Structure 1
Amino acid sequence: MKDLPFEILGTPRNGGFLIIGDHASNDVPDDIVLGIDRLVLDTHIAWDIGVAPVAHLITQHMGFAAYLGGYSRLVVDLNRDELDPAVMPLSSDGIVIPGNNIAPDKRKARLMRFHRPYHDYLKDLLSEQRPSLILSLHSFTPALESKPNESRPWEVGVLYNEQAAASKLAIPFLENAGYIVGDQLPYSGKLLNATMNRHAEANDIPYIGIEMRQDLACTPSGQARFARILSNMCHFVSERLG
């Protein structure tokens, strides 16, 4: 069993770039039984496919570090507030998660074990090593099983809430790099932005919320392209924000 519900890549530094990947892992602790087929853990409902390898590639560049969630979002969704019922989803994209239908005391214990230390450590990290820019890195499935008629043509999405300056610089940069970009798509950062609301917006740290389409982020060539363009994007945006 891991000692902490997160992994740090590289060395976070004041004035550097920090990647935050809440859903970078599909691991499940041995003592937690979700009651689902093991193959489900390889699908998009369990994690953000492509985030971990892209983060590893980006952190090979000087000035970048990463803070990645260590367990599946089906165990605890780190990009939800503790009181959000979906922090431990009972179902996802039509798949029932029976192991999350637990008593309040067990629910609290799981939050204390995974959710609380993840966010407490991140709070301290940002206080001690304040980055110039946060890259919030996620990925999205090109097709939802529960919404088969919904079109998701974007290759990368940019999400933000009240603090939009960095994202508004990132959108044309990504378009010029050749991506089909969704501004607040496939969903809006004003609706789901818990980690960035808590740690970036509340502390006035510029950030960009990125959603990579998973069919592009699951291959080595696609991951290399995302890593190259996103690292260049961070430098571009940071320079223009001053």
Structure 2
Amino acid sequence: METEYHRLLGTPVSGGVLVVSDHASNRVPDDIDLGIEDALLDEHIAIDIGVAAIAERMVEAGTAAWLGNVSRLVCDFNRTHDVPGMMPEISDGYLIPGNVLTKEERQARVDRLFDPYHHALAAQLRETPPALILSLHSFTPGLATCTKPRPWQVGVLYNQDERAARIAIPWLEAQGFVTGDQEPYSGKLLNASMNRHAEPNGLPYLSIEIRQDLIAEEAGQAEWADVMTRLCAAVVGQLPSSQPSLG
């Protein structure tokens, strides 16, 4: 299933795993001009590099995936209405002229993309509540505006609900991965989609950030799809089996 704002891969089932990737696409609708060079659409400011391919491989292994279908520069689904970063005018030092919008133009994108994406995701979660949501992202080894390198291979983020994270962190460390607990970002700050869909409904979730240089190519994508599939199985196996009610 595909709409302007999302792609649904596989068949979600109650008690299964649903991969949610807000930044899986670099697509820009034909009637939106961001005013940037096309090459920037292949960079981290426009897309979470590698995550769509990982999600697609995980679907082949039996999960389902809900993928954002426009670039995060067009509309960042992992934000709230009140932050400029939903349609950034500047990202990692790059000006985005097409995002200098009037209040009405900004609201038009919210109405067209942001709200339908989240309304549909909420409906999907009500219809088939998963045992675990895997909120899948990637991060750059270093920002253009910051010279400090990011040494972690994978980061686990969370806000109030730490259930899945506290299982995942030692599991990843036991596999030999350099794992960031609330690194390179804090889930207390950058967790908008899970704050909206998982936390208030008692749905266990993992917010995972994988370093993009590890998953930019096919071999790395295959490796990390396997890691994520095994991680989700391990987490689900250790979580309480009761399912929340999303009335």
Q: TM-score range by the shorter chain?
A: over 0.9
How far does residue 85 in structure 1 lie from its aligned partner after superposition? Answer: 1.5
Alignment partner, residue 60 of structure 1: 60
User: Map of 1:216-227 to 2, 5 A cutoff?
Assistant: 216-227=214-225
Alignment partner, residue 83 of structure 1: 82
Q: Contact 1:177/1:229 (CA < 8 Å) preserved in 2?
A: no
Alignment partner, residue 22 of structure 1: 22
Mapped partners of 2:221, 2:153: distance in 1: 13
User: Map of 1:78-227 to 2, 5 A cutoff?
Assistant: 78-148=77-147, 150-227=148-225
The Cα RMSD (Å) is 0.9
SS at 1:59's partner residue?
A: helix
Q: Contact 1:132/1:205 (CA < 8 Å) preserved in 2?
A: yes
Cα deviation code 1:65-90 (max 9, x no counterpart): 00000000000100001121111101
Mapped partners of 1:9, 1:192: distance in 2: 25
SS at 2:60's partner residue?
A: coil
How many residues of Structure 1 are paired with residues of Structure 2 in the alignment?
Answer: 239
How far does residue 3 in structure 1 lie from its aligned partner after superposition? Answer: 3.9
Q: Contact 1:46/1:74 (CA < 8 Å) preserved in 2?
A: yes
Alignment partner, residue 9 of structure 1: 9
Q: Which sits farther off after the overlay, 214-223 or 67-76?
A: 214-223
Alignment partner, residue 238 of structure 1: 236
Q: Which sits farther off after the overlay, 173-182 or 34-43?
A: 173-182
Alignment partner, residue 245 of structure 2: none
Question: Runs of at least 4 residues of structure 1 off by over 2 A?
Answer: none
Cα deviation code 1:127-164 (max 9, x no counterpart): 0010000000000000100102x120000000000000
Cα deviation code 1:148-185 (max 9, x no counterpart): 2x120000000000000100100111111221101100
Mapped partners of 1:53, 1:120: distance in 2: 25
SS at 1:77's partner residue?
A: coil
Give TM-score, length-normalised by structure 2. Answer: 0.95
Please list every run of 5 or more consecutive structure 2 residues that lacks an aligned counterpart in the other structure: 241-247
Give TM-score, length-normalised by structure 1. Answer: 0.97
Query: Does structure 1 residue 40 correspond to structure 2 residue 22?
Result: no
Mapped partners of 2:216, 2:184: distance in 1: 18
Summarize the Cα distance change of 1:92–1:53 in structure 2 as closer, same or farther, 3 Å threshold. same
How far does residue 211 in structure 1 lie from its aligned partner after superposition? Answer: 0.2
Cα deviation code 1:40-82 (max 9, x no counterpart): 00000001000000000011112x1000000000001000011
SS at 1:30's partner residue?
A: coil
Mapped partners of 1:101, 1:33: distance in 2: 11
SS at 2:76's partner residue?
A: coil
Alignment partner, residue 49 of structure 1: 49
Amino acid at match of 2:11: T
SS at 2:188's partner residue?
A: coil
